[in-house]
Chains A and B, each alone.
Chain A
Amino acid sequence: MARKDTADIAAARLDAAQLARNFADVAPPLDRQRALIEASRCHFCYDAPCIQACPTSIDIPGFIRAISTDNLKGAATKILDANIFGGQCARVCPTEILCEGECVRNDPEDKPVEIGALQRYATDWVFEQNAVLFSRAASTGKRVAVVGAGPAGLACAHALAMRGHEVEVFEAKGKSGGLNEYGIAAYKVVDFSQREVEWLLSIGGIRVHHDKALGRDVQLSQLRREYDAVFLGLGLAGVNALGLDEEALPGVRNAVEFIAELRQATDKAEVAVGRRVVVIGGGNTAIDAAVQSKRLGAERVTLVYRRDAEAMSATDHEQSFAQSEGVHVIHYAQPVELLERSGVLSGVRFEHTRIEGGKLVGCGEFFEVEADVVLKAIGQVMLTDGLSEGGVDLLRLNKGRIAVDTNFATSLAGVYAGGDCVGGKTDLTVQSVADGKHAAAAIHAYLNADREVQHG
């Protein structure tokens, strides 16, 4: 492919076989024998530290013991009972900072039990068998509206349906799954997210309405009137801007849009990628955008972050993964200007930074990086469109996200929220699932209390 000086953006930089390899499962599943060997490494700790490190408190030693007795149904039930997205989490959780980070095997051996891989081994069985593990309680006649079909919304919906409530989900996009479907790196969830959603919905009692956005097609006050309770799992649908001129320049793009396009493309050869890509940011999104650009065939990918490696929200594991993939990482530099040549992007001008008196300051020294594409990944934000009506804010916010109490109740009676749109802890799939599950328990208690009052 002939190189161009600017706007060198093209699809199919690699042949089909190479692309297929690049977007296959990064962590292939364990077969039975490897699973049994790995399971035998678990000490079956009591009150195990790994359980405490899991936001959804999966009984990890318990499910591993079940794997070791070939009781895959029992193992999967334990996992999915605690975390209905146990299949997704097995693939996407940064286990090194969660369960595996706490494994007691780390100390003597520096090699934790591969909990994520074992979790996948057990849950894969469910999807292969299409096993029915959960059933619904008798109908309560109560109806709950859930906004957003991401992990938080669907975890909440499933837990409510199981308790006998009717759930209607309103989702702005054309598919369910939230970032499981549009955000997670392609090689982490190969052919999986929709299967998982289908399985989850097979419990019944959950109706998903696609292309229905809160604030556009439905209003919060209306949902409050028509349903007995509302759960908001809106995620972070907006992105931060760099605050530079020329952000509309061709070649400048939000990383999340690029990732979503890649995830939705059945043929990765159709996704265009720059020859020289600059990614700005230091989180999951930045890493995934950089690595996936590289795997699409970008010649040079530079990830620039304004602080040091430690301050990056991407884990050490992800950072070294990016480096092993050939992503060039520059710390302590911030973009000051998007450079253009004849109306298109040609590069980015950065200023070196340093910490002075605890604050980040520019050093007054500059450098330029050539780029055909700039991917902005400096943070997602919550869109508040649906949360005000007639210019009046309906909900109390906290630092740009929805304020909730320990029960995930918002400032509005009967309205609950969880997942990335409440934030506070980590913005991780598993945290969103935990939020959705706990909110469902709180909603259930709220609906029951309601019933007791009504029936005297």
Chain B
Amino acid sequence: MADLRTNFVGIHSPNPFWLASAPPTDKAYNVIRAFEAGWGGVVWKTLGLDPPVVNVSSRYGAVQWNGQRMAGLNNIELISDRPLKTNLDEIRQVKREWPDRAMVVSLMVPCDEASWKYILPMVEDTGADGVELNFGCPHGMSERGMGAAVGQVPEYIEMVAAWVKQHSKLPCIVKLTPNITDIRWPARAAHKGGTDAVSLINTINSITTIDLDLMAPTPTVDGKGTHGGYCGPAVRPIALNMVAEIARDPQTAGLPISAIGGIGTWRDAAEFIALGAGTVQVCTAAMHYGFRIVEDMISGLSNWMDAKGYQTIEDFRGRATKNVTDWKFLNLKYDIKARINQDLCIQCGLCHIACEDTSHQAITRERDGKRMFEVVDAECVGCNLCMHVCPVDDCITMERVDDGSFQNWTTHPNNPMAEKA
């Protein structure tokens, strides 16, 4: 059985599966249940200074897609609404009882050095393994000059990260907000400030739905709604890209990453790890199904690693990063054509209409007066839209037909700025 243990900036955990700072890690009761279920670590629900924040009732909105509940979730909750001392006492107790699990404490205090200097020793005193700086919360807190309000200004990130490194010996993880234009800037700033790692993504600004009877966004609080933070399976592709951007940026290459965003299965986790993440964090999937999902995450990842011959997480971590490149470096000579397996074809016609109406008119629908779908190679550009719309596994596959030569945009004659050979 594969060895799933991780050492992330000196924080050890029996597996890379952590719960993200959110309701699942709100208090000792939840966290203990999570550890009992097998989670490798938690990032405790974000602590702030007293007096605690106050939350509203009706906090979540969700996107249902094709019968799937919570394909995306949005929330308008704030940070922990419990007194600081209560949280600190519970963190101390749980860490003592579960010494082998990662216990990271998420923090969000005003953007002044005194506040950070005040809270850090108290956290350190609990025996916690590290701190995560919540620069991401996109609602409620940012209006108070915290959360995303800091995370959107690289200079502030750098400054706060430096304070934290100065006033605490705990490993520091800066949690990034995706609500920016280029994720590399805040990551570089955190790196400059001396952070040990970054984690991403926090939630994305969103309105999930408009209730057409109330004429108000959901979740609706007494007739009004506000933008909230979007998460769950729907945000995973965005998170994957942002993680990849940081992993392959020469300025931040090698900066440890704890990946977050729409992770719910071992496969999701493996994808982020392949892009270089050292641990992964989960929130929505646990909120959807409970902590028991970690069972399949552990067994699935370990079985997949066994099948691939990977003994440790390090054996495959970051293996996909080098294959993420810029468009201009892709091989323009690479050519694939759609192949329809007539034995598997169920005659639904979806490939035809997709190609006919919206692509390249490369799939005919009739032969000798009979319904039959065939690819016209001369028209097929190898976009693989048909393969994606086909409801039958492996019915449409793509076959490579080029001669193996290579040319990318940088040397292409159509490129006015092409490098001369």
Q: Do A and B truly interact?
A: yes
Chain B nearest CB from A293 CB (Å) reads: 37
- Determine if B393 and A70 form an interchain contact, defined as CB atoms under 8 angstroms apart: no
- Give residues in B with beta carbon < 8 Å to A: 265-267, 289-290, 292-293, 295-296, 299-300, 303-304, 392-393
**Complex alpha-carbon distance, A62 and B392, angstroms:** 26
Chain B nearest CB from A366 CB (Å) reads: 56
**Residue numbers in A under 8 Å from B299 (CB-CB):** 66, 71, 73-74, 77
**Residue numbers in B under 8 Å from A70 (CB-CB):** 267, 300
Chain A residue nearest to B299 (CB atoms) is: A74
A406 beta carbon closer than 8 Å to chain B? no
- Determine if B292 and A66 form an interchain contact, defined as CB atoms under 8 angstroms apart: no
**Residue numbers in A under 8 Å from B296 (CB-CB):** 62, 65-66, 69, 71, 74
- Determine if B303 and A65 form an interchain contact, defined as CB atoms under 8 angstroms apart: no
**Complex alpha-carbon distance, A44 and B288, angstroms:** 10
Question: Which of A44, A62, A71, A73 has the most chain B CB atoms closer than 10 A to its own CB?
Answer: A71
**Residue numbers in B under 8 Å from A77 (CB-CB):** 299
**Residue numbers in B under 8 Å from A46 (CB-CB):** 290, 292
Complex interface residues of chain A between 48 and 88 (CB less than 8 A to chain B): 62, 65-66, 69-71, 73-74, 77
**Residue numbers in B under 8 Å from A111 (CB-CB):** none
Q: Among B266, B293, B304, B393, which residue has its beta carbon within 8 angstroms of that of A32?
A: B393
**Complex alpha-carbon distance, A69 and B269, angstroms:** 12
A33 beta carbon closer than 8 Å to chain B? yes
Interface size of A in residues (CB-CB distance below 8 Å)? 14
- Give residues in A with beta carbon < 8 Å to B: 31-33, 44, 46, 62, 65-66, 69-71, 73-74, 77
**Complex alpha-carbon distance, A339 and B300, angstroms:** 64
- Determine if B289 and A71 form an interchain contact, defined as CB atoms under 8 angstroms apart: no
- Determine if A44 and B295 form an interchain contact, defined as CB atoms under 8 angstroms apart: no
**Residue numbers in B under 8 Å from A69 (CB-CB):** 265-267, 296, 300
State the 5 A-B residue pairs at the shortest beta-carbon distance, nearest first.
A71-B300, A74-B299, A73-B303, A33-B393, A69-B265
**Residue numbers in B under 8 Å from A33 (CB-CB):** 392-393
18 CB contacts below 8 A, A to B, read A32-B393, A33-B393, A46-B290, A46-B292, A62-B292, A62-B295, A65-B293, A65-B296, A66-B296, A69-B265, A69-B266, A71-B266, A71-B299, A71-B304, A74-B295, A74-B296, A74-B303, A77-B299
Chain B residue nearest to A46 (CB atoms) is: B290
A-B contact count (CB 8 A): 36
Chain A residue nearest to B394 (CB atoms) is: A33
Chain B residue nearest to A74 (CB atoms) is: B299
Question: Which of B267, B293, B303 has the most chain A CB atoms closer than 10 A to its own CB?
Answer: B303
**Residue numbers in A under 8 Å from B295 (CB-CB):** 62, 74
**Complex alpha-carbon distance, A111 and B136, angstroms:** 44
**Complex alpha-carbon distance, A66 and B290, angstroms:** 15
**Residue numbers in B under 8 Å from A65 (CB-CB):** 293, 296
**Residue numbers in A under 8 Å from B265 (CB-CB):** 69
**Residue numbers in B under 8 Å from A31 (CB-CB):** 393
**Residue numbers in B under 8 Å from A32 (CB-CB):** 393
Chief secondary structure at chain A's binding surface: helix
**Complex alpha-carbon distance, A144 and B265, angstroms:** 42
Chain B residue nearest to A70 (CB atoms) is: B267
- Determine if B300 and A66 form an interchain contact, defined as CB atoms under 8 angstroms apart: yes
Further contacts, 12 of them, CB under 8 A, given A62-B292, A65-B296, A74-B296:
A32-B393, A44-B289, A62-B296, A65-B293, A71-B296, A71-B299, A71-B300, A71-B303, A71-B304, A74-B295, A74-B300, A77-B299
Chain B nearest CB from A75 CB (Å) reads: 8
Chain B nearest CB from A299 CB (Å) reads: 38
**Residue numbers in B under 8 Å from A66 (CB-CB):** 296, 299-300
Chain B nearest CB from A109 CB (Å) reads: 12
Chain A nearest CB from B379 CB (Å) reads: 28
**Complex alpha-carbon distance, A306 and B292, angstroms:** 50
Chain B residue nearest to A33 (CB atoms) is: B393
Chain B residue nearest to A44 (CB atoms) is: B289
Chain A residue nearest to B67 (CB atoms) is: A40
Chain A residue nearest to B302 (CB atoms) is: A74
Chain A nearest CB from B311 CB (Å) reads: 17
**Residue numbers in A under 8 Å from B393 (CB-CB):** 31-33
Chain B nearest CB from A56 CB (Å) reads: 18
**Complex alpha-carbon distance, A76 and B329, angstroms:** 43
**Complex alpha-carbon distance, A74 and B301, angstroms:** 10
Chain B nearest CB from A63 CB (Å) reads: 9
**Residue numbers in A under 8 Å from B392 (CB-CB):** 33
Chain A residue nearest to B300 (CB atoms) is: A71
**Complex alpha-carbon distance, A65 and B290, angstroms:** 13
Chain B residue nearest to A69 (CB atoms) is: B265
**Complex alpha-carbon distance, A69 and B289, angstroms:** 15
**Residue numbers in A under 8 Å from B293 (CB-CB):** 65
**Complex alpha-carbon distance, A381 and B248, angstroms:** 73
Chain A residue nearest to B395 (CB atoms) is: A33
**Residue numbers in A under 8 Å from B290 (CB-CB):** 46
**Complex alpha-carbon distance, A69 and B295, angstroms:** 12
Chain A nearest CB from B297 CB (Å) reads: 8
**Complex alpha-carbon distance, A190 and B292, angstroms:** 35
**Complex alpha-carbon distance, A65 and B285, angstroms:** 13
**Residue numbers in A under 8 Å from B303 (CB-CB):** 71, 73-74
**Complex alpha-carbon distance, A73 and B299, angstroms:** 8
**Residue numbers in B under 8 Å from A73 (CB-CB):** 299, 303
**Complex alpha-carbon distance, A181 and B414, angstroms:** 72
**Complex alpha-carbon distance, A44 and B303, angstroms:** 21
**Complex alpha-carbon distance, A65 and B289, angstroms:** 11
**Complex alpha-carbon distance, A71 and B266, angstroms:** 9
**Complex alpha-carbon distance, A71 and B299, angstroms:** 8
**Residue numbers in A under 8 Å from B266 (CB-CB):** 69, 71
**Complex alpha-carbon distance, A62 and B295, angstroms:** 8
**Complex alpha-carbon distance, A148 and B304, angstroms:** 38
**Residue numbers in B under 8 Å from A62 (CB-CB):** 292, 295-296
**Complex alpha-carbon distance, A33 and B394, angstroms:** 10
**Complex alpha-carbon distance, A71 and B290, angstroms:** 19
**Complex alpha-carbon distance, A31 and B394, angstroms:** 12
**Complex alpha-carbon distance, A44 and B289, angstroms:** 7
Chain A nearest CB from B66 CB (Å) reads: 10
**Complex alpha-carbon distance, A73 and B305, angstroms:** 12
**Residue numbers in B under 8 Å from A44 (CB-CB):** 289
Chain A nearest CB from B67 CB (Å) reads: 9
**Complex alpha-carbon distance, A48 and B293, angstroms:** 14
**Complex alpha-carbon distance, A146 and B262, angstroms:** 51
**Residue numbers in A under 8 Å from B300 (CB-CB):** 66, 69-71, 74
Chain B nearest CB from A446 CB (Å) reads: 30
Chain B residue nearest to A131 (CB atoms) is: B303
Chain B nearest CB from A280 CB (Å) reads: 47
**Complex alpha-carbon distance, A74 and B295, angstroms:** 9
Chain B residue nearest to A36 (CB atoms) is: B393
**Complex alpha-carbon distance, A447 and B289, angstroms:** 40
**Residue numbers in A under 8 Å from B292 (CB-CB):** 46, 62
Chain B nearest CB from A121 CB (Å) reads: 14
Chain A residue nearest to B297 (CB atoms) is: A69
Chain A nearest CB from B21 CB (Å) reads: 24
Chain A residue nearest to B295 (CB atoms) is: A62
**Complex alpha-carbon distance, A100 and B292, angstroms:** 22
Chain B nearest CB from A86 CB (Å) reads: 16
Chain B residue nearest to A72 (CB atoms) is: B303
